[in-house]
A and B are shown apart, each in its own frame.
Chain A
Amino acid sequence: MSAYLIKGVSPLGAAPTDLLIRDGVVAEAGSGLSAAGATVVDADGLVALPGLVDLHTHLREPGREDAETVESGSRAAALGGYTAVCAMANTSPVADTAGVVEQVWRLGREAGLVDVQPVGAVTVGLAGERLAELGAMADSAARVRIFSDDGHCVADPRLMRRALEYVKAFDGIIAQHAEEPRLTEGAQMHEGEVSTRLGLTGWPAVAEEAIIARDVLLAEHVGSRLHVCHVSTAGSVEVLRHAKARGVRVTAEVTPHHLLLTDVRAETYDPVYKVNPPLRTDGDVAALRAALADGVIDVIATDHAPHAVEDKECEWAYARPGMLGLETALSIALEVLGPRWDLIAERMSRTPARIAGLESHGVDPAPGAPANLTLVDPAARRVVEPGELASLSRNTPYAGMTLPGRVVATFLRGEATVLDGKAVR
């Protein structure tokens, strides 16, 4: 195993110190450390964070290896400062059996750049009709704990109730893509002034809020854990605030793009801005930012959704929804939250690790902690250039934008996955 001596790093923005990483853990912390044989990393001016954990990643393998593979997505994740990602189930075949989740898990181990934790489908084929073998996935080598039909809503209330109840047996959690399907038939973008002007079918905020309201009541009724994927509206925030005040065991995530971009982006008709749920309004963005700061929203999750060029270089209505996110999420968190390192660690590492049950992640870099961490240069600014991203796809909505912060190094169980801002392999 390698050893690294990180010199002069600022853990979560605190006073600079040295960190010695050896045998997969943070072995020592203090000033003036030395260690024979250790690779020295000059971290002057850098901030150390616990390795980021993404609850919501689409790696596309198996099925769409032209858009992303477990390996390319893992590389993108490491470059973004992540040490663990939860791979969504909407692959082809769908990750609705122990066999498929074990395949994804194994591919993640082989790539070795982040821990790839598969998410299992709630229903067979994401069809929303009957439960997939949730227990088999939980008992598999992949040890699945998060189940989601993401991309589709578990719309049937009885099925949702059963899923929430069933996974209690193995401390599972249902991550809901909250989208009332009848209210969003043919929907292309947020329903509002811009959709009216553009003649694109609207995706009303109430279609998200109604499902979240129902699901928090169901979760309360059966005493289960619920996680809400990609919350996008001010009204959803209020529903969640109310539920949390009542003690419902609900957590929620917001994506970087819903914290930064609004529906006016659609005016170009460039489907790089097409995403589900859609980009909303300034008022929604403000509410999401406030909820992220005050804890009503627990987590920033990327919803990294790579798509091949031909699935985006077309008419808006025919394009697939989704955006890249792994390599820009931390920069957008910095843009939105500022250098509030403890809050960033909480929203992007500790809490998502806790929700996903990833015990070796989300631990602050201190002696004895697993050496899953990332080093960030907060002073750097960079222009997002799609061609430079490690993802196989190019559908970033931030092309040409200047964003703060740069990931300089990432360590997974004590081994560098990124050094000098470059993936080690």
Chain B
Amino acid sequence: MRNLLHDMNPSIKFITVTIVMLGLAFFFNPWTPLLFFFSILVLQLVFSRINWKIWSLFMLPFVIGAFGYLWTTIVFGAETGGTVIWSLFGFDVTDEQLALALSLSFRVLAFSSLSLLFALTTDPVKFVMSLMQQLKLSPKLAYGVLVGYQFLPVLKDEFFQIQQAHRLRGAAVEKFWWQRVLGVRRVIIPMLAGAVRKAERSAFAMEARGFTGEMRKEFFRPVSIKAKDYALSAAILVIFISTSFLGSILSN
């Protein structure tokens, strides 16, 4: 029961999540995204066993971003009319403007909850395998992406090596965070040059082992679609449709 979201076919999950996100963009009332956000939370509580500490850590920057949306939409919002609720520093805030601002910031939260539903329950390698097997992504691209992904820890080590080499030679004195951001330039060129060489080497290795990049019919690790994948996808769509109706009713 609590494995359902983890075992769901990644392509189906990906398509469902994307459709619902695009669908949410049509709603400008505050209730739809808010209700949707809480429904997704409940869905995750019931059907997944994710680490909620990590969830909150990922969510935090987006809560901050949502707050930014809230106040800019109030201050820089298009003229909507409606009754003035309060005035602050010469700005008249109307009830419609507030509703619109709340809707945009709740939308950020709804998007993030849906994204985290995907991110925290999907195995990255299985996702690419599924893209190749179900959505017919070219094996050349799919395995290319996987090679890049496998190099991630190597690139991380390389990053620290380059940084330490710079420090050892006294090349970089970085006191402030913005100096570190600008200093990215010094690190990125050697990293990319290393990446070019690694790409060449691994491409030769793949070709030497007979990788042609042609479409296959059989796979070593097949990713299948089962009835419960459609059921879960339908459940998410039902949540979206019912919250959009309920939200439209509540805001009138």
A and B: real partners?
A: no
Question: Which residues of B pack against A, CB within 8 Å?
Answer: none
